[in-house]
Structure 1
Amino acid sequence: MTNDTNTAATGERYLFLAWSTYTSDRGTFDVWYDKEHIPQVMDTTGMVGAQRFVLDDTKPLPGVKTIDWGHLALYELNREPDAFREEVKRMLISADMVLPDFMVQPFKALFLKPVSKIHYGESWDPDPDRLDDRHLFFAWSTHTTDWDTYNAWYDEVHIPQILSVPGMLRAQRFLPAETKPLPGVEVPNEGHLALYEMDGSPSLFREECKRMLMSGEMVLPDFMVQPFGATFMAPASPWWPAQD
């Protein structure tokens, strides 16, 4: 299994997001995920790495629809996730991979494909150890305009404004991939995803975005359907890179 360090440079960055809740204590859940489940997933085709997140305690931005689907496992791949899906499905059917009884079923899961390049902030550092403390902001949206207009606004206006906030690492936009869902999961349908990564707590990010919105420096266009779904997430594990 190769850890493709060129993923960020090429933009071939696909995501598998798996949200879950559980009935065990948090310690048991964490140990199972980090010691058993993630190592199994790391052996699949195209895997770059994984990290776990939980809802951050930063206050939501004004006017958004806060989305809380529980614990998130974020898996990053360097190619379309079809082979990954087939290998995980095979392990589940053969019982090589077993989901414990304390994991509430069905869980939510989503394959995502990139629809923009990766945009880098001034705080970006390619050292993978810097990812251990990254916090995430998920902004889901739908729109009433054509895709060219939406893409241009996001990439040329909105993301550069967001990346001007101190501590921003990178941003990228995604849509649901054509890959079939894994059997038995619930597939959320919140539309387009803008994923923002920041170094440390999102508190400053929130305050700066709120200030820009209130001052009129940042304007959300009429074609963006309101309210949109958003979530701040904090790391619950280190970044686990796939091994060479």
Structure 2
Amino acid sequence: MEGLSLYIVQTNAVEGRDDEFNEWYDSTHVPDVLSIDGFESAQRFTRSTALDRPDVPTPPYEYATLYEISGDPVEALGRLGAAVQGGQMELSDAMVPGSGSLLLTPVGVKVVAPNRGE
């Protein structure tokens, strides 16, 4: 199926260092990732508390980044991993080590609501 794959990375900042983490992520990390062939776009999110309930465990991550990847996503992720392992990509100590990630590949065409364009 043609279309962009989605790569979602979930992370946390070291306690008390959110501003530093967000500055590094926006100014350094996202541009570094987008310099890797296949990474087309990135959008960052913070977890909303709107759906929190006392009887449901709180999700473990506060931040998520949604990357769109063209072409073979496994190859693009391999290039990303090589850049990190090779030291070409600076990682901040304001980020808690370890992250969650999810790779989604299309199984259907993108459907857009009528009159909302694309």
Identify unmatched segments of 5+ residues in structure 1: 1-131
- Render the CA deviation track for 1:34-59: whole Å, top value 9, x for unaligned: xxxxxxxxxxxxxxxxxxxxxxxxxx
**Distance in 2 of aligned mates of 1:214 and 1:187:** 32
Alignment equivalent of 1:141, drawn from 1, 5, 11: 11
Q: How does 1:67-146 map to 2 (within 5 A)?
A: 133-144=3-14, 145-146=16-17
Q: CA deviation at 1:192?
A: 0.5
Correspondence for 2:79: 208
Normalising by the residue count of structure 2, what TM-score does the alignment of the two structures yield?
0.80
- Render the CA deviation track for 1:86-111: whole Å, top value 9, x for unaligned: xxxxxxxxxxxxxxxxxxxxxxxxxx
Alignment equivalent of 1:151, drawn from 4, 17, 22: 22
Task: Tell me which amino acid in the other structure corresponds to 1:213.
Answer: V
Identify unmatched segments of 5+ residues in structure 2: none
Decide whether the 8 Å contact of 2:20 with 2:94 is kept in 1: no
Alignment length, in residue pairs? 112
CA distance 1:214–1:134, change in 2 (3 Å):
same
Correspondence for 1:42: none
Q: CA deviation at 1:226?
A: 1.8
**Distance in 1 of aligned mates of 2:97 and 2:57:** 24
Moved over 4 A (4+): none
Q: CA deviation at 1:135?
A: 0.4
Task: Tell me which amino acid in the other structure corresponds to 1:161.
Answer: D
Q: CA deviation at 1:178?
A: 4.3
Q: CA deviation at 1:148?
A: 2.0
CA distance 1:220–1:177, change in 2 (3 Å):
same
Alignment equivalent of 1:235, drawn from 83, 103, 106: 106
Task: Tell me which amino acid in the other structure corresponds to 1:141.
Answer: T
Task: Tell me which amino acid in the other structure corresponds to 1:239.
Answer: K
- Render the CA deviation track for 1:93-143: whole Å, top value 9, x for unaligned: xxxxxxxxxxxxxxxxxxxxxxxxxxxxxxxxxxxxxxx611011110111
CA distance 1:191–1:223, change in 2 (3 Å):
same
**Distance in 2 of aligned mates of 1:204 and 1:173:** 23
How well do the aligned residues superpose, as a CA RMSD in angstroms?
2.4
**Distance in 2 of aligned mates of 1:188 and 1:215:** 32
Decide whether the 8 Å contact of 2:47 with 2:61 is kept in 1: no
- Render the CA deviation track for 1:43-82: whole Å, top value 9, x for unaligned: xxxxxxxxxxxxxxxxxxxxxxxxxxxxxxxxxxxxxxxx
Decide whether the 8 Å contact of 2:21 with 2:92 is kept in 1: no
Q: CA deviation at 1:186?
A: 7.7
Q: CA deviation at 1:214?
A: 1.5
Greater length-normalized contact order (CA 8 Å, ≥ 6 residues apart): 2
Correspondence for 2:62: 191
